[in-house]
Structure 1
Amino acid sequence: MQKLKETFIDKNAILGNSIFIGNGVTIEKDVVIGDNTQIGNNVTILSGSRIGENCQIHSNAVLGGVPQDLKFKGEYTLLEIGDNNIIREFVTINKGTISKGKTCIGNSNLIMSNAHIGHDCVIGNNSIIGFSVGVAGEVIVQDWVNISGLTAIHQFSVIGEHAMISGLGRVVKDVPPYVVAAHEPLRFAGVNSVGLKRRGFNSRKIDEIRSIYRIIFQEKRNTKFAVDIINQEFEQTVERDKILNFVRQSKRGIIKGFEI
């Protein structure tokens, strides 16, 4: 009979109350884990990891690994994970590099099996990262984002809040808030109306968002011209300003349009 791997917990790790730890777990020094977190079998949590309360970390996940980036020279960096996150089997999340100093995962996210989140990423709150999604370094994912399985996200990309990305997507441009991105190459495929309704957006607000994107993605001139039109013709609202600020601040440029 094969002998089970022993659990190792460094004496300098700081563990909260009512934590469950499975078989074969490794928890290194300089790790902090909050109350009521559950850690499955064969999980590895490496130095510099900070994990909040009420998280579920399933079997064979590796958290706080060394960045897969040649500029990393062993400097002290962190992985910070908030509360109420579900991290499924074989997920890997690397800590930061000198670029930002840490990788940050917010609260109440579901990260499905085999997903990878690279160095210096910032993941917001209430998002779903599907199975085998690959998130390269220094990506920003805002709140309430749904990324379907097998999607690959290029480094430095930004995905706006309430966006949804279809499976097998290839993200090489920024994805603005409130949209569905699909097809190959990835492009605008409509407003995420189903997701928005679930989160309390009414029909009038969804129509406003749809009208704004109609101008952005069907305007035959450049994006700056479309932004100027929206500024002049649409009443100032939270959603309008979030869209405009996202487009203005995009360094990689936003995805291309598609028929509304």
Structure 2
Amino acid sequence: MATIHPSALVNPKAEIADDVEIGPFTIVGENVKIGRGTKIHSSVVLDGWTEIGEDNEIYPGAVIGVAPQDLRYSGERAYVRIGHRNVIREYVTVHRASDEEGLTAIGDDNLIMAYTHVAHNCLLGNQIIVANSVGLAGHVEIEDQAVLGGMCGVHQFVRVGRLAMLGGMAKVSQDVPPFAMVDGQPARIFGMNIRGMQRRGVTKEARLGLKNCYRLILRSGLNLSQALSAIRATVDNTDEVRHLLRFLESPSRMGVCIRQPDHKREKQANGRPLKVKVEAAGG
């Protein structure tokens, strides 16, 4: 049987698994589903058509599933779905989608730190770390294992690739490619997320392949289409390289962040591209 504090307001139509814990002053709406092993702390609001999976922990003050901050929304049935083993810290807000039968989704094993806002129709993958006070605008997509630094802002419709890292307070208005590190206002690429890839078990061979990819994209003087063709012709075809290519070839509403900071771009004096050497694995 679920453990529900006497001061909590839980609609009798809500579907609560047997071993769920619900703290004082929490409010749970009638269309909410909560999976087994999930702990809801005090003063949490769970509203709308919200489904929360197993073994999550939601800290005080979080508000999940309420109406989106979209002037076009007029009460249509729309969803929030949260997977398993997520930690959602204090005062996080997660809004339901703004279109009928639309979805805001968070996958599994994510850490979403305090005061973060996840807007309508956002899609977050798995094993993502979102630091304090991050703002995700509507329709943002975050791939697995990305890291978002504190107080960064991500523009609507932007995609953030797998294992990308966003610096604190970065202004992210274009898609961030997988495995890249970006920072600044506006955000620019500062390099590859080498340490993150090492921690997540990306092989040395794959890291070298990605390094060669980014050399061609950022330093060869080729446009993006030409750089992608050169990558296919010259770089080892690892899973990670294929993932990068798929990301860059997918439709983009906002364009892709493939510029470096000015101090790095100045090295290409008078518009002449730097010589690019593609390294072989083990070489």
**TM-score interval for Structure 1 and Structure 2 normalised by the shorter chain:** over 0.9
What is the total number of aligned residue pairs between the two structures?
257
> For structure 1, which segment, 92-101 or 184-193, has the greater mean C-alpha deviation from structure 2 after superposition?
92-101
Q: Which residue of 2 aligns with 1:256?
A: 258
Quote the offset at 1:202 in angstroms. 2.5
Please tell me whether the aligned partners of residues 212 and 235 of structure 2 are also in contact (alpha carbons under 8 angstroms).
no
How much is the aligned-residue C-alpha RMSD, in angstroms?
1.6
Q: Map 1:204-223; keep pairs closer than 5 Å.
A: 204-223=205-224
Code of the residue aligned with 2:256 in structure 1: it is I
Task: Work out the CA distance in 2 between the residues paired with 1:103 and 1:191.
Answer: 29
- The answer (yes or no) to whether the contact 1:19–1:38 under 8 Å persists in 2 is yes
CA separation in 1, counterparts of 2:121 and 2:241?
29
The answer for the alignment partner of 1:171 in structure 2 is: 172
Aligned mates of 2:115, 2:31 — CA distance in 1 = 25
2:275 maps to what in 1?
none
CA contact (8 A) 1:100 1:120 kept: no
Residue 221 of structure 1, CA deviation: 3.2
Counterparts in 2 of 1:85 and 1:223: CA distance versus 1, 3 Å:
same
Runs of 5+ in structure 1 lacking a partner? none
Report matched runs for 1:159-238 at 5 Å. Answer: 159-238=160-239
The residue matched to 1:108 in structure 2 has which SS? coil
Q: What's the offset of the Cα at 1:250?
A: 4.2
Counterparts of 1:108-127 in structure 2 under 5 Å? 108-127=109-128
Contact 1:99 1:120 (8 Å CA) reproduced: no
Based on CA coordinates, which of the two structures has the bigger radius of gyration? 2
Q: Is the 8 A contact 1:218 1:257 kept in 2?
A: no
Listed one character per residue, the Cα deviations across residues 205-244 of structure 1 (whole Å, up to 9, x for unaligned) are 2121111111111132311111111111123221111111
Higher mean Cα deviation, 48-57 or 15-24?
A: 15-24
Does the CA-based 8 Å contact 1:22-1:39 persist in structure 2? yes
The AA in structure 1 aligned to 2:225 is K
- Give, in whole Å, the separation in 1 of the partners of 2:257 and 2:144: 19
1:152 and 2:153 matched? yes
Counterpart residue type for residue 247 of structure 1: L
Counterpart of 1:59?
60
User: Is this contact kept in 2: 1:30–1:47, CA < 8 A?
Assistant: yes
1:7 Cα deviation from its structure 2 partner: 1.3
Instruction: Choose 189-198 or 234-243, whichever is displaced more.
Output: 234-243
| Residue 12 (structure 1) aligns with | 13
Per the alignment, residue 28 of structure 1 pairs with 29
The aligned counterpart of 1:131 is: 132
Range moving further from structure 2, 202-211 or 50-59: 202-211
Tell me the alpha carbon deviations over residues 114-165 of structure 1, each in whole angstroms, 9 at most, x when there is no partner. Answer: 0000001100000011100000000000000100100000000000001111
Distance 1:77 1:63 in 2: 13
Over 3 Å counting, the alpha-carbon distance change for 1:101 and 1:179 in structure 2 is: same
Stretch of structure 1 that moved more, 169-178 or 94-103: 94-103
Separation in structure 2 between the aligned mates of residue 169 and residue 100 of structure 1, nearest angstrom: 32
Q: Residue 49 of structure 2 contacts residue 79 of structure 2 at CA under 8 Å; is this kept in 1?
A: yes
Matches within 5 A, 1:235-250: 235-250=236-251
Q: Aligned to 2:248, what secondary structure does the other structure show?
A: helix
Q: Structure 1 residues 172, 135: CA separation in 2 closer, same or farther (over 3 Å shift)?
A: same
What is the CA distance between 1:254 and its match in structure 2?
1.2
Runs of 4+ more than 3 Å apart = none
Measure, in 2, the Cα distance between the counterparts of 1:100 and 1:123: 18
TM-score, normalised with respect to structure 1: 0.95
Pair 100,124 (structure 1): closer, same or farther in 2 beyond 3 Å: farther
